[in-house]
Structure 1
């Protein structure tokens, strides 16, 4: 593949990834807007009695309520994660076998940004899904993005790829070979 073809593919992947991420963030923010508008100050909306309900919660911590009132720490950690995900995304070779990693990276980043928007804008994250049957912590759409994409990424990395499939992440190897396959 020529350098021009690589550049075109990179631009295509970057643009489509950004558009998909914006759409996912939009969906997350819209559901949080609905939760705030329809659920805040009201009794939970029971969808399946004793199993599942919609209940408004202002979460001032991270996942499962950890790090309560540690907004700066959570935002900085989120930014670091986004930088790492962005770096890996930009280094992915323009080959089809890496498309699942691209998709999962976009979903993960959308979840991180969706919750970061809440933390910065409101000072808390709006949560509203609650499985009362198992008393699972209340969560939101961005949380689903993060958890599902992380589980899928781990499984994919462990079972779907070989160690050499990740050689593109090595700066040393790229400099030595002069290769441009990751860009």
Structure 2
């Protein structure tokens, strides 16, 4: 249940913050939060990070549906010791659903977290869903690396077999 609760928490936080941004920030465009560090900047993201693949809404909808289906397929197949992988997939699932809702509703994703400090001054504006997806991906990579190191080598067997 950890991944589902995580996904629901991410989805709720994502949609609540986007609703707040639409009501409070969108009319002004940008509102300083901590000058020189972070500001809220309302952005209609019609592509991917760094302005890639602009106006490819259908492509992003299809990718999101495939990713969501893959996560839902793999979740019940994870080994019992895979708590961090379950958390990672929950973060990714909640983020993917949050951004999918935006694309289906408006045709774009609402982004608003704008980091101003160096070296991230040119970092793309993002949202809670994006942060959850990136964090989940990092956790999943760490889990895969740690699990690979702990697992026996399928060629060498459990004892290794070094020179």
TM-score of the superposed pair, with normalisation by structure 2: 0.84
Partner of 2:124: 137
- In structure 2, distance between residues paired with 1:84 and 1:162: 21
- In structure 1, distance between residues paired with 2:35 and 2:148: 46
SS of aligned partner of 1:55: strand
Give a deviation string over 1:38-75, Cα, whole Å, max 9, x none: 00120411122222101111111123332111011011
More helix by share: 1
Q: Does 1:104 align with 2:91?
A: no
Q: Does 1:153 align with 2:140?
A: yes
- In structure 1, distance between residues paired with 2:42 and 2:67: 27
Match of 1:84 among 59, 65, 70: 70
- In structure 1, distance between residues paired with 2:150 and 2:74: 15
Deviation at 1:162, TM superposition (A): 2.6
TM-score of the superposed pair, with normalisation by structure 1: 0.75
User: Which stretches of structure 1, 4 residues or more, deviate above 3 A after TM superposition?
Assistant: none
Q: Does 1:37 align with 2:23?
A: yes
Uncovered stretches (5+) of structure 1, i.e. residues with no partner: 1-12, 166-183
Give a deviation string over 1:108-153, Cα, whole Å, max 9, x none: 1110110000000011100000012322110000000011111121
- In structure 2, distance between residues paired with 1:164 and 1:49: 45
Partner of 1:122: 106
SS of aligned partner of 1:162: helix
- In structure 2, distance between residues paired with 1:19 and 1:104: 12
SS of aligned partner of 2:147: coil
- In structure 1, distance between residues paired with 2:150 and 2:70: 19
Taking only aligned residues, the RMSD between alpha carbons, in angstroms, comes to 1.7
Uncovered stretches (5+) of structure 2, i.e. residues with no partner: 152-163
Tell me the number of residue pairs that the alignment of Structure 1 and Structure 2 aligns.
148
Q: Does 1:57 align with 2:36?
A: no
